[in-house]
Amino acid sequence: MITIMTEQKQSTSADETSLAREAAVNADAFAELYRRHITRVYRYHAAHTGNVKDAEDLTSQTFMAALEGIRSYRGDAPFAAWLMGIASKKRFLFFRGRRPEVPIEAALQIPSPSLPTDKAAMSRLRIESISRALKQISAERAEALVLRFFGELSMAETGRVLNKSEAAVKMLVSRGLQDLRERTSLALEVEK
């Protein structure tokens, strides 16, 4: 099972590398990369800004910068990590000189019509609790958690964005999750 998942991830990474190379001359290829990554980039920015308008603006800026710089993508790292590196730089420029608010609930405001009211309410409480806790932990651990879970990056991809080894990211995520558990009153559950 793990081997199959690794092969699929490698196949997706190779596919995205090819798409990125083609995107330098073909708008349809870039449009496909955009469709694949729009949600993760938006959630990343929404998690940091807590504001739909700012998250949309930063997402737009991220993809414009990616389009302008697509020829510089060499394929030595997964496209998602390269793109989230751009998103991280755009976020840094946005927050230069001011402390970011991190209301995570904004990052998950993609409605699900199939979610029953009681589960939606419980989910909202859980998100609010996590949001408060993220503001209380170290910025480095919070960033690793946001990249990993909201940006949907692997440990290795998160490491590339943060300029850290995969082992260092695993430690940041592990300690960040422990910090969150200590600061939240609700049990954190990983959905299956």
* Tokens linked to 192: 């299956």
SS3 of 189, please? coil
pLDDT in tens, 32-48: 999 999 999 998 888 88
Q: What are 84-143's pLDDT values in tens digits?
A: 999 999 988 888 866 545 455 555 554 444 545 666 666 666 666 676 777 788 989 999
- How much is the pLDDT for 191? 36
pLDDT top residue among 186 and 73 = 73
Closest CA to 150 of 142, 140, 138, 159: 142
Contacts of 96 (CB under 8 A, 6+ apart): none
pLDDT of residue 144: 92
Rg (CA), the chain: 17
| pLDDT tens by residue, 14-36 | 788 899 999 989 999 999 999 99
Q: In degrees, to the nearest 5, what angle opens at C-alpha 72 toward C-alphas 142 and 24?
A: 115
The better pLDDT of the pair 108, 71 is held by: 71
pLDDT at 186: 44
Amino acid letter, 109: Q
pLDDT tier at 4, thresholds 50, 70, 90: very low
In the chain the domains, ranked by start, together with CATH numbers, are 2-183 (1.10.1740.10)
pLDDT at residue 174 is higher than 50:
yes
Mean pLDDT to the nearest integer, 169-173: 95
Which band of pLDDT confidence, cut at 50, 70 and 90, is reported for residue 181?
Answer: confident
- Is pLDDT above 80 for 167? yes
- pLDDT score of 95: 81
